[in-house]
């Protein structure tokens, strides 16, 4: 072989890559491992992202469920109050009379309208000590729980009052004989225990309905803003929004105002009790933190 050919062959062989453990063995392993870790990382991030999105969706669902529940409950309250609001707010000399109020408010049933809501589902809106705002009073879960509990208690009061009211009406109907009965005859006709019970339930109902309407109005106005601050709405902007309540029409504003207070002097006389004690029992605002 000539010298020229030998040199050419050596040059070509010199161009061949020498075998390397790093290149031939370790690098493929590292590349595969990196790809696997990258895939696992992306999968983990995707799952976590989906979990976070699902959590925010569940928060929104819980908030909207409560908003709809309270809206329906307040609608029930307004419907009940519409049966008597104008009747017992005509004239103070008449509308504050306990007996007149008893007979002017018809029978109403409420037990089927009780609220069954798991308050713990909105625990995420609970107030942080460092988070104080004009709406923070509704971050108190106990207040929401109390509002729901008082509404459910009202259903019992309505049903008991309806039962007593029916008894009173039957006694009056059986004794009328086509003639009107004056106040003195009514007091003599209706057993004192029944009269006291029915008036008591009537006055409790009036105060409870007013308190709850005011309390729920406050909730419906303030709770949506609290919720928006507690939900990462950007993550679920295509899923939905927090429900808000609109202002009532002017013609129904009277339903949001308190009824006239009962004449405590007359009430105490019927009950044979101290007037101050009677005032405390039927004090307005016991179920609301609003004015």
Lowest-confidence range among 21-35, 60-74, 211-225, 229-243?
Answer: 21-35
Q: Indicate the domain borders of the chain.
A: 59-281
Where does the pLDDT of residue 82 fall: very low under 50, low under 70, confident under 90, or very high at 90 and above? very high
Phi/psi region, residue 285 (left: phi>0; alpha: psi -120 to 50; beta: rest), is left
pLDDT of residue 108: 83
Check: CB of residue 291 under 8 Å from CB of residue 217: no
Angle, CA of 173, 177 and 180, to the nearest 5°: 80
DSSP 266-290: HHHHHHTS-HHHHHHHT-TTTT-S-
pLDDT of residue 4: 58
- Quickly count: other Cβ atoms within 10 Å of residue 205's Cβ: 23
CA 109 from centroid of its chain's CA atoms: 21
- Both tokens of 188, joined, read 């003599």
Check: CB of residue 73 under 8 Å from CB of residue 151: yes
44-53, 80-89, 115-124, 236-245: which has the highest mean pLDDT? Answer: 80-89
Lowest-confidence range among 8-12, 69-73, 240-244, 274-278?
Answer: 8-12
> CA 195, CA 158: separation in Å to the nearest integer?
16
pLDDT of residue 288: 80
Question: Is 60 exceeded by the pLDDT of residue 123?
Answer: yes
pLDDT mean over 45-60:
75
Question: For residue 191, which phi and psi values (nearest 5 degrees)?
Answer: -55, 140
pLDDT tens digits, residue range 134-176? 557 898 888 999 999 999 999 999 999 999 999 999 998 888 6
Q: Which residue carries 């509704």 as its tokens?
A: 138
Check: CB of residue 233 under 8 Å from CB of residue 241: yes
Lowest-confidence range among 143-147, 228-232, 279-283?
Answer: 228-232
Question: Is 90 exceeded by the pLDDT of residue 133?
Answer: no
Residue whose C-alpha is closest to residue 186's, from 198, 197, 176, 199: 176
Where does the pLDDT of residue 209 fall: very low under 50, low under 70, confident under 90, or very high at 90 and above? very high
212: which DSSP letter? H
96: which DSSP letter? T
> CA 170, CA 175: separation in Å to the nearest integer?
9
What share of the chain in percent tops pLDDT 70? 77
- Quickly count: other Cβ atoms within 10 Å of residue 154's Cβ: 24
Record the pTM: 0.82
Question: For residue 110, which phi and psi values (nearest 5 degrees)?
Answer: -130, -10
Could you give the angle at which helices 141-176 and 192-230 cross, rounded to 10 degrees?
A: 150
Check: CB of residue 160 under 8 Å from CB of residue 234: no
> CA 168, CA 155: separation in Å to the nearest integer?
20
pLDDT mean over 85-114:
83
Where does the pLDDT of residue 46 fall: very low under 50, low under 70, confident under 90, or very high at 90 and above? low
């Amino acid at each position: 072989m000539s010298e020229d050919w030998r040199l050419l062959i050596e040059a070509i062989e010199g161009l061949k890559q020498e075998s390397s453990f790093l290149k031939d063995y370790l690098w493929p392993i590292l590349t595969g491992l990196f790809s696997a870790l990258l895939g696992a990382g992306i999968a983990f991030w995707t799952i976590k992202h989906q979990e976070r999105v699902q959590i925010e969706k569940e928060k929104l669902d819980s908030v909207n469920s409560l908003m709809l529940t309270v809206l329906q409950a307040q609608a029930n309250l307004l419907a009940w109050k519409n049966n008597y609001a104008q009747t017992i707010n005509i004239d103070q000399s008449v509308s504050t009379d306990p007996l007149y109020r008893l007979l002017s408010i018809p029978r109403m049933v409420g037990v089927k309208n009780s609220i069954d809501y798991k308050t713990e589902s909105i625990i995420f809106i609970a107030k942080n000590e460092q988070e104080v705002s004009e709406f923070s009073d509704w971050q108190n879960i106990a207040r929401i729980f109390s509002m729901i509990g008082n509404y459910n208690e009202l259903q019992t009061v309505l049903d008991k009052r309806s039962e007593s009211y029916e008894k009173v009406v039957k006694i009056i109907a059986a004794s009328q004989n086509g003639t009107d009965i004056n106040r003195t005859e009514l007091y003599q006709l209706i057993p004192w225990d029944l009269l006291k019970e029915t008036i008591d339930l009537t006055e409790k109902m009036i105060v409870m309905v007013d308190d709850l309407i005011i309390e729920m109005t406050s909730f419906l106005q303030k709770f949506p803003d609290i919720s928006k601050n507690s939900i990462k709405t950007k993550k679920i902007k295509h899923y939905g929004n927090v429900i808000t309540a609109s202002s009532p029409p002017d013609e129904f504003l009277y339903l949001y105002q308190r009824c006239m207070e009962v004449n405590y002097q007359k009430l105490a006389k019927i009950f044979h009790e101290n007037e101050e004690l009677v005032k405390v029992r039927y004090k307005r605002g016991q179920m609301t933190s609003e004015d």
